[in-house]
Structure 1
Amino acid sequence: MLRRFNTMKTTGDQQLVKRINRSVLLRLLRRQSGRSRAQLAQESGLTKSTVSLLVRELIDEGWVTEGDVPAAQGLGRPSTPLRIDGSRRGMIGVEVAVEALRVVGVSLIGEVLCAREEPLAGSEPEVVCRQAAGLVAQTQAQLAGQGVQLQGVGVGLPGAFDEASGMLRFAPNLGWRNVDFVPLITQALDQAGVPPVAVHVQNEADTAALSEYEFSEGDAQDSLIFVTCSAGVGAGIVLNDRLFTGVQGMAGEIGHSILQIDGLLCSCGRRGCAETFIGARALARLADPAQGGQTLGVVLQNLWTTFNPSALVVGGLSCERYPGIVQVARATLQGYATSAGVPAPPVRAARYGLLASAVGAAALVLYHDLRPMHAPAAGAVSRATGAPVTPSTPTA
């Protein structure tokens, strides 16, 4: 038995090493498209034979494709440029918003291939999961019709999601507390006939952050904060290339940080929360909703001095309705930065607009696939086996 155990452990270790090496190559190509096999070997530290073998697997599985133009000219056989294949594999992202469901099919390079939106048919968790699963099934069929293989499904929820237990702890605008969400959504997906793929769940502000971090180039180096302003207010935080979610998924619940002692009553039961100043309902009461940007600028200032991110992104329904609040918030933040004599991080509107959280839920699948050493969690379930997705579980 001891010998067999050691053999199984060795096999598992080899699978993990292979997944890590594959992820290294994929992340290099995502950072800069057009690298050759030789360049990948040089930059990854892997042997040329290992890179050639892994690249062949990645091409066969639809992760990578070869370019038509040689990467370099010179003596000997020209090298072939490689890039992430945006046509053969994709992810489905679901945003459970307070007012609607948004479901998107997204390619490996962040292209939105299809999108659906429906008003919520009801607020009960079981009803929401059945409705979401039906939309996922329709989206998967559309992707299959385009020749796109489903890699996984991600779900963004409007509240504190405890990744360790798979529980939705707190979603005041839906009236949800301590909902065992993962079994509900996986069962609904099974009943809807969705193929057995990994399912990942996270807070919708966290997924929105991933839509910018995983698919956008430029300012998001290894850290980014996405502030979403809709019925509720939240922040998705990426630090050192990892989502920062807190012990019970409560990190980033800035809508329930207190801005005024004994202020207006909030949906959470507290008084003076940020949501009572810059939530959608609060902004609708203002003669000029853009004035809410001053308070949003204060919130951005506090996030900046707390986390020192590379970039700040603002999105959500309120920003779509009142785009002026982003400009006011940026100016307010710049005023604080000027007073302190310190350059502020860039502030911009969400690139995917109202689809940010849904696209980011799709990116959540990629986020986990490209980080094999990320700790396993109840929020990442393989529907092929019914077990949590672990680092040694193949995903391709």
Structure 2
Amino acid sequence: MAKNLIGIDLGGTTTKMAFLDENGEVLDKWRVLTDTSDKGAHIVENIVKSINKHIEDSDKTINDFVGIGMGTPGTVNREKGTVSEAFNLNWKDEQPVRELIQNGVGLPFQLDNDANVASLGEYWRGAGSTEDDVVFVTLGTGVGGGVIANGKLLHGVNGGAGEVGHIAVQPNGYLCTCGKKGCLEQYASATGIVHVAKDMSKEFNGHSRLKDLENTDEKITSKMIFYLADNGDILANQVVNRICFYLGLALSDIGNTLNPASIIIGGGVSNAGNTLLQPTTRYFQENAFPSIRDSTKIKLAQLGNDAGVIGAASLALQFR
């Protein structure tokens, strides 16, 4: 009986792939560069080639696999198995991803949005694995999310459930790529944090290494801002405090609406650990309804970069 799953986590720079067993244990994982040239025409063919080669080089055959699941940026049509408007992949038009991968590898295929898939990973094998009601928030280049209620991933009427990055946290705030103003994504993403730091440093008059770096046009990253905050930089601490206020406020809105057992924070920014978690939890508790505050926990994700491939592989369990 076929027991293994294939997970694909498609990103703008790299595509991560893995073979897993049906319990979600990673057996083998690898990555290839995502070739976005020629309107992203080579992306799927490179995935197919890479999977076929890995099956060939392993001690397995196609019959050892149940199916393939994939997480992708962009607008996903799960019924048709297509992706469109994935601008970081150069996919403006609809791409028949399911058809190409199913035909190319010879296994059934399912796909979903990348943030939803990372949520499924944390729900299946990570920080939410003991709970049926979990919200996952991913803080990376953008801010995404996924909602699991009663053990089921919510998609909403038009696939837009879990768009936590577009909760408005600042009336008339920074303009977002979505056309709206004041979205969480513009404050709590890696790029948003740098934007907040730049603006706050203009107003800051004291001594600060962060301000010195801003004044010399040094390339500043969110990681650097958290590092400086950890090391006592006053401005960096003020920036982190403001970001955590916005994040805690948005999470309290989610908590008050859904009352999940956990809200799990993942993505690259979550590597800041307690420097991010503690103030965010404080602002969440200040803004949450008392019974929510006492029952919904804010946690850090556990799976790191593997959340995507593990969650993607879980999509293939439906083919068992």
Q: Which category describes the TM-score, using the shorter chain as reference length? A: 0.7 to 0.9
Structure 1 position 120 matched with structure 2 position 30? no
**Aligned 8 A contact 1:208 1:356 in 2:** yes
Which residue, out of 94, 98, 101, partners 2:12?
Answer: 98
Read off the aligned partner of 1:163 and give its amino acid letter.
R
Structure 2: gaps of 5 or more residues: 198-209, 211-224, 227-239
Alignment partner, residue 200 of structure 1: 110
Q: Say if 2:259 and 2:292, in contact at 8 Å, map to a contact too.
A: no
Give the equivalent residue in structure 2 for 1:190: 103
C-alpha distance in structure 1 between counterparts of 2:151 and 2:28, whole Å: 28
Letter in 2 for 1:115: K
Give the residue type in structure 2 aligned to 1:259. V
Following superposition of structure 1 onto structure 2, how do residues 334-373 of structure 1 map, counting pairs within 5 Å? 334-337=285-288, 342-366=293-317, 368-369=318-319
Is the CA contact 1:227–1:312 (under 8 Å) kept in the aligned structure 2? Answer: yes
CA 1:185–1:164 in structure 2 vs 1: closer, same or farther (change >3 Å)?
Answer: closer
Candidates 272, 275, 282, aligned match of 2:192: 282
CA distance in 2, matches of 1:342, 1:280: 27
Aligned-CA RMSD value: 2.9
- For residue 24 of structure 1, what is the aligned residue in structure 2? none
Shift of 1:270: 2.8
Q: Determine helix, strand or coil for the equivalent of 1:309.
A: coil
- Secondary structure of the corresponding residue to residue 41 of structure 2: helix
Structure-2 change in CA distance of 1:262 and 1:341 (3 Å): closer
Give runs of aligned pairs for residues 25-174 of structure 1, distance below 5 A: 61=1, 89-122=3-36, 124-141=39-56, 144-145=59-60, 149-171=64-86, 173-174=88-89
Q: How is 1:247-262 mapped onto 2 (pairs within 5 angstroms)?
A: 247-262=157-172
Per-residue deviation, 1:202: 0.3
Please state how far the C-alpha of 1:233 moved relative to its aligned partner: 1.0
- 1:216-260 C-alpha deviation (Å, 9 max, x unpaired): 587643221111111121111111221101122111112123223
Query: Highest CA radius of gyration, 1 or 2?
Result: 1
Structure 2: distance between partners of 1:219 and 1:343: 20
Aligned residue number for residue 225 of structure 1: 135
The one-letter code of the counterpart of 1:311 is S
Q: Do the aligned partners of residues 143 and 238 (structure 1) sit closer, same or farther apart at CA in structure 2, a change above 3 Å counting?
A: farther
- How many Å apart are 1:306 and its aligned residue? 1.2
Superposition pairs of residues 301-316 of structure 1, within 5 angstroms: 301-316=252-267
1:55 corresponds in structure 2 to: none
- Provide closer, same or farther for how the CA distance between residues 275 and 93 of structure 1 changes in structure 2, counting only shifts above 3 A: same
Measure how far apart 1:322 and its partner are.
6.5
AA aligned opposite 1:118: V
Q: Specify whether residues 167 and 188 from structure 1 end up closer, same or farther in structure 2 by C-alpha distance, changes over 3 A only.
A: closer
- Pick from 174, 178, 181 the counterpart of residue 268 of structure 1: 178
Specify whether residues 312 and 142 from structure 1 end up closer, same or farther in structure 2 by C-alpha distance, changes over 3 A only. Answer: farther
Mapped partners of 1:255, 1:301: distance in 2: 14
- What amino acid is aligned across from residue 300 of structure 1 in structure 2? L
DSSP 3-state at the match of 1:222: coil
Q: What amino acid is the match of 1:336?
A: N
SS at match of 1:318: helix
Q: Percent identity?
A: 26
Question: How far does residue 214 in structure 1 lie from its aligned partner after superposition?
Answer: 2.3
CA change 1:171–1:255 in 2 (3 A) is farther
Matched residue, 1:328: 279
* Offset from partner CA, 1:68-107 (integer Å, 9 cap, x none): xxxxxxxxxxxxxxxxxxxxx2211111123321112222
The DSSP-based 3-state class of the residue aligned with 1:115 is strand
Note if contact 1:265-1:272 (Cα within 8 Å) is conserved in structure 2.
yes
- The CA deviation at 1:167 is 3.8
TM-score by length of 1: 0.62
Gap change, CA 1:138 and 1:294, over 3 Å in 2: farther
Q: Deviations over 1:173-201 (max 9, x none)?
A: 54645x433x235325634xx2x221010
Give the Cα–Cα distance (whole angstroms) in 2 for the partners of residues 209 and 158 of structure 1.
14
Return the letter of the residue paired with 2:74: G
What is the CA distance between 1:303 and its match in structure 2? Answer: 1.1
- 2:122: which partner in 1? 212
More relative contact order, 1 or 2 (CA 8 Å, 6+ apart) = 2
- The Cα shift of 1:158 comes to 1.9
